[in-house]
Amino acid sequence: MRPPADAVVKTPEALARLSEEIVRCRRCPRLVRYRERLAVLGAEKDGSSYWGKPVPGFGDPEASVLVVGLAPAARGANRTGRIFTGDRSAEFLSAALYRAGFANQPFSVAREDGLEYRRAYLTAAVRCVPPDNRPTTTEADRCLPFLVREIRALPALRVVLGLGKLAWDRSFQAASEAFGVSLRRAPFTHGARLPLGTGLPVLWGTYHPSPRNTQTGLLSAEMFDRELTAIRTYVDDAIRGSDSRSRTTSRS
């Protein structure tokens, strides 16, 4: 069952307002200190301008697929200010999304690079870069309402894709709250799928495209492509089915 209509905000303006709120967030003192320190040190080291703030989601407001990562990378989104931009995970992910037809170009290097996602919206379970890439449970809990609101603000959503176990677990929590469903949590595996209910998105899981996973062979481009192809097929079939039902209803 979807949430009440007055709880669902379905406009690009709502996503923009949420993004502004995320960027202003200072709820986690440890993460605030760390992200800002990295920004100062990075700027001193290479002269670059660092974002050093929480990173909002980015993509198509009419997205069928919400891709949820763990958190911004130190020299990726914490530097560039756009999720999955400017690091090796972004290189892997953007190329794969392009091959699957979800992006207009196969690279994501800077906010001004012209990237547009098509029927996809990218975000993270935690919005600030954490030390050792490990947010605390409390820090992740503080970010959860942002993910709930993003899910509610995407009216065409068919798949929530969690990249890695933490993103899978947090996506399950957020989707359960967003849609008011109570389900037994399924274990994370690469290729895991959990339908959330009739008319609701499917929770999907893959390994995270981190260098540790891609360079060790735990996740290959072929493995990731298979999942994105399956997701694209699922989304296309769901949309065709919805369109067919709408035409049948309009004729009756």
pLDDT digits (tens, 9 = 90+) for 52-90: 999 999 999 999 999 999 999 999 999 999 999 999 999
**Least-confidence region, from 73-87, 156-170, 232-246:** 232-246
The single-letter code of the amino acid at 134 is R
Residue 183's pLDDT is 86
Other Cβ atoms closer than 10 A to 20? 10
Between CA 81 and CA 142 the distance in angstroms is 20
In this predicted structure, the answer to whether residue 244 has a pLDDT above a threshold of 80 is no
Average pLDDT over residues 148-173: 97
At residue 240 the predicted structure's pLDDT band, cuts being 50, 70 and 90, is confident
Residue 2's pLDDT is 47
Could you state, in order of their start, the residue ranges of all structural domains in the chain? 5-251
- The three-class DSSP label of residue 91 is helix
- DSSP letters spanning 115-179: --BSSEEEEESSSSPPGGG---HHHHHHHHHHHHHHHHT-TT--EEEEESHHHHHHHHHHHHHHH
Between CA 187 and CA 235 the distance in angstroms is 23
Average pLDDT over residues 158-169: 98
Q: Residue 205 forms beta bridges with which residues?
A: 162
pTM (2 decimals)? 0.92
The alpha-helical segments, DSSP class H, found in the chain are 12-24, 29-46, 77-80, 88-99, 137-152, 165-179, 211-215, 221-251
Fold of 5-251: Uracil-DNA Glycosylase, subunit E (3.40.470)
pLDDT digits (tens, 9 = 90+) for 132-145: 999 999 999 999 99
Among the listed residues 63, 61, 103, 64, the one whose alpha carbon sits nearest the alpha carbon of residue 84: 103
**Least-confidence region, from 48-52, 136-140, 234-238:** 48-52
